[in-house]
């Protein structure tokens, strides 16, 4: 049996949702790999994506939001527009030819071809030694949950063609961590195709598949390790697990630890967001010494602070950049000259 085969399933728990999306990443990664090996797309892969879509659409809804339980008593409303819409696009892409897929996108987005052609006009004739792009907008539309923002198959196919044919050093940079979870865990591009620069460029995987990092002082790394260990121990407890699963969650970046914090958005109750010192024995002065440690904190005493978490619910905005890359592949003559070490400044 195919280990990545997805069956139709009932999704009611937030953890189930994330587990399902993680398996869609495996299915998509293997599908892209086969496409670039000129192997036929396995029907099991298409069926898996269809079953994943069926399972997501089957989650109970209220006021346009999918209702998912964190535990037996706490629940949240999530707008799964990105996850559902990208699965629909991938299924259509895999079951039809590219001309039909472009027409499909034209029907979704008014003025689609005109905007793509405008981008081509601006970029045509450029040569790329280093092509640097952020992940947001190029790979994914808006998604309120980082670890479920899995790259789509069609997106990877178009970007990989561009990277292989028209850019000597294609770089994807993000503020998120590299792995566990991070940029690599939500990407489906073939290995050694892109330079994955994470943690704002402080760590990256090069085109040889080797991980490299920016230097950090030993005492600062030890402080971060201490904080990260305590946070890790805390969020595996059922009472605090939610803090690792909402929005961008708890992220252990290289040289920085971040936890998702709210703006003027709906948030959990004060009882939910209060973390007492008995479970998290860190003082304000300890937290303030951490290198680039960003938390939203309000101290009532040295032994406790409150962290409010945001669950973003904006609508997605369509992205056109992958289609610029697809079309540019047919127009741009890129030189293969080597340049300076482009990571020297990170």
- The percent of residues above 70 in pLDDT, for the chain, comes to 74
Q: Taking 90 as the threshold, does the pLDDT of residue 3 lie above it? A: no
Per-residue pLDDT band for 2 (boundaries 50, 70, 90) equals: low
Q: Taking 70 as the threshold, does the pLDDT of residue 151 lie above it? A: yes
Q: Which of 53-57, 223-227, 234-238 has the lowest mean pLDDT?
A: 234-238
Output DSSP code: residue 151: P
- For 273-290, the pLDDT digits (tens) are 333 222 233 333 333 333
Rounded average pLDDT over 121-150: 87
Cis, peptide link before residue 181, omega less than 30° from 0: yes
75/290 Cα distance (integer angstroms): 33
N-term to C-term CA, the chain: 44
Rounded average pLDDT over 98-112: 93
CA 346 to chain centre: 21
Q: Which of 214-223, 247-256, 289-298 has the lowest mean pLDDT?
A: 289-298
| Of 199, 176, 179, residue with least CA distance to 249 | 176
Q: Taking 60 as the threshold, does the pLDDT of residue 118 lie above it? A: yes
Per-residue pLDDT band for 4 (boundaries 50, 70, 90) equals: low
111/94 Cα distance (integer angstroms): 24
Can you say whether residue 301 is alpha, beta or left, with left for phi > 0 and alpha for psi between -120 and 50 degrees?
Answer: beta
Rounded average pLDDT over 207-224: 90
SS3 assignment, position 108: helix
173/198 Cα distance (integer angstroms): 6
pLDDT, residue 297, reads 34
Q: Which of 84-98, 245-259, 294-308 has the lowest mean pLDDT?
A: 294-308
pLDDT, residue 206, reads 96
**Residue ranges per structural domain of the chain:** 218-306
Rounded average pLDDT over 110-136: 89
| Of 137, 191, 184, residue with least CA distance to 325 | 137
pLDDT, residue 238, reads 78
The whole model's pTM is what?
A: 0.74
């Amino acid at each position: 049996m195919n280990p990545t085969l997805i069956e139709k399933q009932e999704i009611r728990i937030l953890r189930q949702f994330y587990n399902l999306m993680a398996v869609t990443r495996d299915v998509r990664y293997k599908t892209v790999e086969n496409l670039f090996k000129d192997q036929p797309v396995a029907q099991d892969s298409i069926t898996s994506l269809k079953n994943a879509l069926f399972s997501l659409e089957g989650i109970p809804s209220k006021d346009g939001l999918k209702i998912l339980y964190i535990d037996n008593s706490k629940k949240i409303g999530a707008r799964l527009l990105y996850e559902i819409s990208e699965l629909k696009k991938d299924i259509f892409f895999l079951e039809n030819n590219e001309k039909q897929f472009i027409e499909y996108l034209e029907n979704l987005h008014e003025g689609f071809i005109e905007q793509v052609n405008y981008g081509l006009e601006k970029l045509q004739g450029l040569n790329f030694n280093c092509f640097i792009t952020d992940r947001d907008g190029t790979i994914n539309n808006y998604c309120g949950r980082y670890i479920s923002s899995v790259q789509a198959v069609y997106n990877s196919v178009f970007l990989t063609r561009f990277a292989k044919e028209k850019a000597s050093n294609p770089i994807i940079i993000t503020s998120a961590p590299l792995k566990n979870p991070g940029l690599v865990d939500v990407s489906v591009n073939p290995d050694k195709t892109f330079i994955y620069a994470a943690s704002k460029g402080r760590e990256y995987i090069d085109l040889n598949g080797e991980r490299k990092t920016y230097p950090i002082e030993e005492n600062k790394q030890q402080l971060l390790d201490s904080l990260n260990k305590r946070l890790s121990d805390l969020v595996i407890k059922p009472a605090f697990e939610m803090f690792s699963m909402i929005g961008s969650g708890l992220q252990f970046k290289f040289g920085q630890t971040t936890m998702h914090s709210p703006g003027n958005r709906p948030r959990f109750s004060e009882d939910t967001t209060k973390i007492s010192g008995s479970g998290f024995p860190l003082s304000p002065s300890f937290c303030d010494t951490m290198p680039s440690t960003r938390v939203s904190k309000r101290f009532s005493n040295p032994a406790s602070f409150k962290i409010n978490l945001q669950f973003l619910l904006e609508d997605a905005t369509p992205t056109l950049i992958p289609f610029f890359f697809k079309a540019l592949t047919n127009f741009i003559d890129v030189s293969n000259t080597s340049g300076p070490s482009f990571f020297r400044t990170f």
